[in-house]
Structure formats: C-alpha cells, structure tokens
Structure 1
Amino acid sequence: MTSDARGSRFEALGAYLPSTVRSTPDLVASVEQLPDVDLARITGVTERRVYDRRPEAGEDSYGLALKAAQDALAHSRYDAADLDVVVSASITRFKDGDDFYFEPSFAGLLARELGARRAIHFDVSNACAGMLTGVHLLDRMIRAGIVRNGLVVSGEQATRVAETAAREISDSYDPQFASLSVGDSAMAVIMDRAVDDADRIHYVDLMTCAEYSHLCLGMPSERTEGIALYTDNRQMHKEDRLRMWPAFHGDQLAKLGRTFADEEFDYIVQHQVGTRFVDYVNLTGAREFGTEMPESLSVVEQFGNTATTSHFLVLHRHLTAGTARRGARYLLVPAASGVVTGALSATITNLGV
C-alpha cells in the first residue's frame, strides 16, 4: 500500500453505559471511616454508572468493551470482517468474574468474538491515555499505508477501585480519595483513511514525563483483596504539571509555524478528572497560550472519571445530543498517570454515532 498523506479520520463511534446509576451521596454513605465530606462539591461528580455484578449481565471489563465495539460496528459502513486492526486499551481487564487478564490479550479475544479474524490485534497500556494511545498508533499505521482501517476499544470497570476505597479510606487526604470519583463505561472508535477535510485527524501527539509516574499508581490493594488506585492529588495537580500540556502543544505547533489561536478550535475536551480540574487546566491553557480557550465539553458531573474512555464518552454524548456544529474542529487533551499529556486535533462532520 502507498502512503496516504491525508491521514486518518474517525469513521464511527460506539458506546455502552451500564444502566445502574449511583449517586455521590449514596457512595459517600458507604464509606464508614470518611468524615462529613462534600464529595460532590470537591469533585463536581454527582453520579456515575456502575457495572452489574451478575455474570449474565456481561458488564465486566471485557463484556463492556464488546458491547461498545458492537455499537460502533452498528454505526459503521464496515463489518467486523473488514477490520485490519483491533486495539484494546482497557486499564481494568476483568473477564469471567474476578479474573484479571493479561494473556490472552483482550484485543485478540474481541477480534475473534466480533468476527474480525484477519485483523492484527494487540493491547496497549498507557493509563487513562490508553484510547488516545491506540488512536495515535492506528493513525500512524493508516498514514503509513500499512492498514486501511481499524478499531480502538476500551471497557472500564473502574468502580472496582471505588469499592476498595470505600473499605479502606480514612480521610479526605487518603491517597485513595480520587477513587471515589470514577465511573464505569465502554467506548469504541473505528478509524479509516480520510477522504476530504470534512472528517480528518489533523494530528495526534503524546508525551510522557516519567519523573512523576509515582504520583498515581494502580495496583493490588496493600490492605485488602481487590485493586486500588493511590494518587497524590496535591502533587498531580500542581501548576507545573498542568503547564505540561500547553508547553508541549505549543512547542509542537511552533515547529509548524503556528500558534494555538491559529488552530481555531471550536471545542476542547479535557480528561474528566473533575470539574475543578477541567476548569484549572483550561485556565492554565488560556494563560500560557495567551488566548481564550474554545468551548469546553464535559460530562464528568453525570458519569465521573471513566479512565481511558473519558474523551470519547464526552464526544459521543455531545454528538448524540444533536448540539454539535457540523464541521467543527475538536481538541482532545489527555492527562494520565505516567505523566502523559499531548493533543489530538480533528475535524468532525459525518461521524457515525
């Protein structure tokens, strides 16, 4: 295949959300050792979706991902058999109850069950930047002419860390406090070659600063059974960490002889850590770039921090609400443990949802 300088586009988007809704007051009431803390005020999260524990519900990490992938295919012009690549980006990899999978890969299992039997398949692991990392890799493969299309998918059973935190947390300064803001969801995006500028990924670039990797760690709990998330919120959200995105993005644009204002973004989507975080990052961006930020899209109040799926969940809800401007230019900004930052710029006109 020859190289396609036009690059890739988002062709279809799929989603799956568990039907169970859990309010923040209900969650706080389950944390026995937590003093009277207004979690909704601190995080901005008023509710989140929570997986169904019953095996027949199929809402483990794998089952969630499968449902989102099927939804994406239902909105795509491609059948599963047409896919050249399947990439799985889940942080949580639960399947068959409490079994946590490393091998066989979720991508391989999903490709087989979907019917994408000839597709290249692999998992990526890059914390909450996982789906954007998968998109980054698939974009490069399409641009290089190696493949024609592919699927990036993630299912996150993130509220398992909230369950651990509810058992173990002692106060609002506990490193598991951020675990109380998470929610469950699954997203899938199908990408192919761009055919015009109406639908096109202009660029996607990521950067990792490993110096801060110790500030947010997911691992087996140190005290009880289950997985836990330990986050130093004060250090993670210091100003020099928030400035990493505008510094990196500004440098990338300068290489092209452009400024942030030149990009004329219509919408910006930050990682859905919490309402305060989104506001602070946008304020930092405005100050560092010396220009107003585009309209900020967010669903964290309703769904919480859904890890790898957060940017695409925002995009999906925005597009399905019917309020999106056709031909708008979007900026997706990752913020992940690692610490990972970067930027994805895309024009979206005809994305199937």
Structure 2
Amino acid sequence: MADCSRLVGFGGYLPEKIVTNQELSQRVDTSDEWIRERTGIKQRHIISGHETCNFMAAAAAQQAMEYAGLTSDDIDAIVVATCTPDQIFPTTAAKVQQILGIKRGFAFDVSSACAGFVFGLSVADNFIRNGQAKNVLLIGSEVYSRILDWSDRRTCVLFGDGAGAVVLSAEEITDTNKQNGILGVYLHTDGHYSDLLYVDGVPGQTGDACLLKMHGQEVFRHAVTKLSEVVEEALIAHHLTHDDIDWLVPHQANLRIITGMGKKLNLPLDRVVATVDRHANTSAASVPLALNEAVRDGRIQKGDLVVIEALGGGLSWGSSIIRL
C-alpha cells in the first residue's frame, strides 16, 4: 500500500519581547481600542538580541522533533516557509539543518507569504507520498518586523514575529475508507491581484525601501470569499460536510475573518483556534503556531478532523484537510 503523511510532531517559538497596542500607540497615531475593534489584536512578539529567522525556525523544529520522538538522524528533508529570511542564500532550511546537526537529506525554502505553510505542506506531503522521504520537518518562520513601515498604522499594527513547525512522517495506508494524516491540499494563485499585498523591492535594489504595502479592504474582501471557496473545495473532494469538521485552524490575520470563516462552516467559536489576539499575524508561522498551541493544550486530539486555510500575497491561498 502507498504511504500517507501523518503529523506527528508540533513545535513553536515566539520572541521574548512583547509589544502591546498601548506601546504602539506611543509610536504611531493609533490606540488599543482602534486596533482591537478592527483586528482583534492585543499584542505581538518582536525579535530582539540573538533572535533571528534561523534561530526561531530551529527552536520550533527542535520542539517538533522532540514531540515526535525523533532525532536529527531521522530527518530526511527540511522545508521552511518564509519570505523574511536572514540571508538571500543560503536558505533558512540549510541553516536549520546546520543548527540542528542534521547530516542527511535535503533542505530548501518556499515563499508564498501568509499562505507559505499550506504551500509547504503540499510539498512535504508529496515527498512522502512519492517515497522520497519518510520524515520531513516543515517550518514557518517569519520576521515581519524587518519589513514593516513603523510609521504606517494601517500595517505595522497587524504583524508579529515567530516560528511554528510540524514533523510529517510516512504511515502506511491500511484502510482507504478512513485515511489518517493529510487527506489533501488545495492550492490557488491569482497574480492579477499581486498589487494588493506586496513588498516594494528586494535588498540591493535602488529606489524605495523594502517595506510591506497592503490594500487592506481589498485583501479582506478577497480573503473571505476565496478562503470559503477553497475550504468547500476540499470538503467536496473528500465527500465531507461541515458537520464532519472537528476543528478549524485558520491563518491568523484578522479576528473578523477568523470568526466569519467559523460561521460559514457552522462551527462554534470554541471549535475555531484563534491566536491572533496574542501573536498578531505571523504570516507563514501563524498556522503551525496555532496548531502547536491547540495540540499541546489538549484541545485537538488524535483522530480529530482538522481544516487549515490561509491566504497571502500573490494572491495565493489554500486549504488542507488533516486527520490527526
């Protein structure tokens, strides 16, 4: 029988420094009330000192390996989703391999902004299904604080830094009627909307600084529609209904989008994992950070059917159905 990909390890890292809405209001024309009403965000974590994208990614990955009961000798591949690496190259994944002392396999990065973890999940899942790897580290690690315009209250209040990780391991499919692990991943990109959310340059390019730019209302409108459609696409493909879902673990961009998605799926709010109030938007790290929290505090149990979804710059968006 063929192998499926099972999520067997979970980890996360959040920087030590916490920046509250009140602190931000001393730097830009905003307030705690203004931010909470529009986003649900109360605080965010920002790197300082020794903390880097590489450091956070390795710390989250180490936790995930320990949770899975694996060592560096067991890892066949490392995939890191990030658009805020410490260097253009070598990749963040290669540095994680070095930091964790992993001697075998291969490592590379994927970049799809806030949808990066879902896109990386598809890549890692395919490696396992094709027999190219047995154990894959998948990490989302982001340092958005380095690409924010801290004078723009429309964007700087929305994001935070952090890293989340999972370990995917091969498991033989013995019952095709009730498959465990990743049932499917569904991805989309529409470059016609690429000017709605972008970074205005690359290091070394002349002109504007490399800062994040976003047309918030348009992104919000597309997020609600496209995320609903891609979740429905996944459910239909596996002959599932809203009633079959145990948990929704969405990208943590805005509490209004998160609660709106829960209502569309007829899920009570206590079945929707939300960390945006404390983490803000950590881009590719947001879904694995939320997964890690909900698994470790006992909300998500083995055998639960979990839906994840995310939308980011590109515009790119995707969903996955996973039986843990």
TM-score (norm 1): 0.81
Tell me the number of residue pairs that the alignment of Structure 1 and Structure 2 aligns. Answer: 315
Superposition deviation, residue 253 in structure 1: 4.4
Superposition deviation, residue 321 in structure 1: 1.8
Matches within 5 A, 1:93-242: 93-94=85-86, 101-162=87-148, 165-166=149-150, 168-169=151-152, 177-195=154-172, 199-220=180-201, 227-238=210-221, 241-242=223-224
Residues 213-245 of structure 1: CA distance to partner in whole angstroms, max 9, x if unpaired? 11000235999986421110111122x552223
Take 2:275 and 2:30, find their aligned partners in 1: how far apart are those partners? 27
Aligned: 1:48 with 2:40: no
SS at the partner of 1:247?
Answer: helix
Take 2:166 and 2:226, find their aligned partners in 1: how far apart are those partners? 27
Residues 64-123 of structure 1: CA distance to partner in whole angstroms, max 9, x if unpaired? 1121122222222221122111112111112xxxxxx11112212221332222211111
Residues 8-29 of structure 1: CA distance to partner in whole angstroms, max 9, x if unpaired? 0111111111122111111121
Aligned: 1:89 with 2:63: no
Residues 212 and 339, structure 1, Cα contact 8 Å, conserved in 2 = yes
Q: CA RMSD in A?
A: 2.5
- Residue number in structure 2 paired with 1:280: 260
Q: Which runs of 5+ in 2 are unaligned?
A: none
Matching residue within 339, 346, 351 for 2:315: 339
Take 1:249 and 1:158, find their aligned partners in 2: how far apart are those partners? 27
Residues 228 and 261, structure 2, Cα contact 8 Å, conserved in 1 = no
Aligned: 1:244 with 2:220: no
SS at the partner of 1:236?
Answer: helix
Take 1:46 and 1:254, find their aligned partners in 2: how far apart are those partners? 36
Take 2:145 and 2:73, find their aligned partners in 1: how far apart are those partners? 33
- Residue number in structure 1 paired with 2:35: 39
Residues 268-298 of structure 1: CA distance to partner in whole angstroms, max 9, x if unpaired? 1221111112123334x34xxxxx2362110
**In the superposition, relative to structure 1, how do residues 241 and 122 fare at CA in structure 2: closer, same or farther (>3 Å)?**
same
- The answer to which of 74-83 and 196-205 deviates more is 196-205
Task: Indicate the percent of aligned positions where both proteins have the same amino acid.
Answer: 24
